[in-house]
Structure 1
């Protein structure tokens, strides 16, 4: 993926939002079990909850069917002290052609003392002409554990879809004690095939993902993760307790085949049902 300076997707200030969604969800520990503490949803944002004994599993649904110019989607998730919260999506999110401005997605996560939060959205499908500005901000307690995956696919090869032009801006920042421990900025704009063809970007691949693990198991997980990665992937320790992984794939199916065992290893648990191949 292409690292970029502090850049913001262009938008039409006069464009009215086509769709808006707001979701807040939180978990807590009660009698030794993680349970739902709070839930608020508005607009096109909804959350479903699956039966899971070891965590609260929130499945985010965008009832508008996808993202396009002018859309606004905001998510806030909090794993309370000693609880375990898994946030995923019902299906792959779709960024469609934009005729006016950019869609904006903002996600804010909080992981309390001794808590675990797994941020595992399914892949983002970027369509030709899409314009998306996405940001993820995470605040982690010193004793917490955090697992993240952000898969992105440009076009669906099996459907004969290609992406000639798009504007995709993505920022991720993870803080612990108000100190940044991980930051990533991506800007893929304009002629997407030319950008993806660059060896330092994607070497012609159209599917990519970043994964992150923060916690005390990072060092022991590193050799296990490396053993699961193809030649187009890599993993390393940024800090003794921060493991970062990148992987490229020819298409979304190949990407998911790699990600599923890696994410199960990182989270030390079965993936959400919506992720299963």
Structure 2
């Protein structure tokens, strides 16, 4: 006989992805691919030498108790571009464990990875614990963007109750080069309204760019960014940007030119839809 607890457990979404990219001649191709549960990877028609992959969550979103894990590896000399089919949605959660999302990226020597998922939209009473862990070598190149949207303003949504923990760790040659921690609980709307937090903005993006001579882009980026954005060089080869927006549309208007500049190529087509 199936108990109520077993039924609730069975209804939780699970998903796992593993992908490696390897170089063959001038092109990058799939080395290993594993997908399970509610996570899928799509591979659109090639538009250049990079291997492009688009993540899809067939569960339609994330809620309390869901678990998703992604492991990506760019083997020596390869180029991997990752995006999502649409913005990820974090829905209202029942009392209990948070939704868990863990993304791990490994960049071997002389590789390039463009981590460009679309926004994560958090709804009222959502509960999410998310981690992005990146291990790269100094000879590799990384462009990574993570964007959060707290309710869709065009739909009149607000996020009054939220439990969010979000962390990013970047290691270069085994040493911690960047660590970011975000925790928002209880009344997120009131916290975001504080001047020292977001000044009323309900959309934000963090962009990491690690590459040889990355700091040389700082003057151009400062000219591009709005008053609600900033860029800092943590070293000559690592820069970090933070951008706030009044809503998701305003955020995209600020972020897209920055990503296009740093990417030095067209962004994934999913960003243009």
TM range (shorter): over 0.9
Quick check: 1:170–1:186 contact (8 Å CA) kept in 2?
Answer: yes
- Alignment-derived partner of residue 207 in structure 2: 211
Residue 186 and residue 179 in structure 1: after superposition, are their counterparts in 2 closer, same or farther (change >3 A)? same
- Cα separation, 2, equivalents of 1:247 and 1:165: 23
- Alignment-derived partner of residue 136 in structure 2: 140
How many residue pairs end up in the alignment?
264
- Alignment-derived partner of residue 84 in structure 2: 89
- Cα separation, 2, equivalents of 1:28 and 1:237: 30
Specify which of 24, 44, 51 is matched with residue 50 of structure 1: 44
- Alignment-derived partner of residue 274 in structure 1: 270
Specify which of 59, 65, 71 is matched with residue 60 of structure 2: 65
Quick check: 1:233–1:245 contact (8 Å CA) kept in 2?
Answer: yes
- Alignment-derived partner of residue 15 in structure 2: 21
Deviations 1:79-105 (A, max 9, x none): 111111011100000000000320000
Specify which of 180, 186, 196 is matched with residue 184 of structure 1: 180
Instruction: Flag as ranges the 4+ runs of structure 1 deviating above 3 A.
Output: 14-17
What is the Cα deviation at residue 38 of structure 1?
1.4
Structural mapping, 1:224-243, within 5 Å: 224-243=220-239
What is the Cα deviation at residue 15 of structure 1?
5.8
Q: How high is the TM-score relative to the length of structure 2? A: 0.94
What is the Cα deviation at residue 221 of structure 1?
1.2
Specify which of 28, 31, 35 is matched with residue 37 of structure 1: 31
- Alignment-derived partner of residue 220 in structure 1: 216
- Alignment-derived partner of residue 154 in structure 2: 158
- Cα separation, 2, equivalents of 1:144 and 1:101: 37
Residue 47 and residue 87 in structure 1: after superposition, are their counterparts in 2 closer, same or farther (change >3 A)? same
Give the gaps of 5 or more residues in structure 2. 1-7
Q: How high is the TM-score relative to the length of structure 1? A: 0.93
Quick check: 2:26–2:49 contact (8 Å CA) kept in 1?
Answer: no
- Alignment-derived partner of residue 78 in structure 1: 73
- Cα separation, 2, equivalents of 1:22 and 1:234: 34
- Alignment-derived partner of residue 250 in structure 1: 246
Give the gaps of 5 or more residues in structure 1. 1-13
Quick check: 2:201–2:244 contact (8 Å CA) kept in 1?
Answer: yes
SS of 1:262's equivalent in the other structure is helix
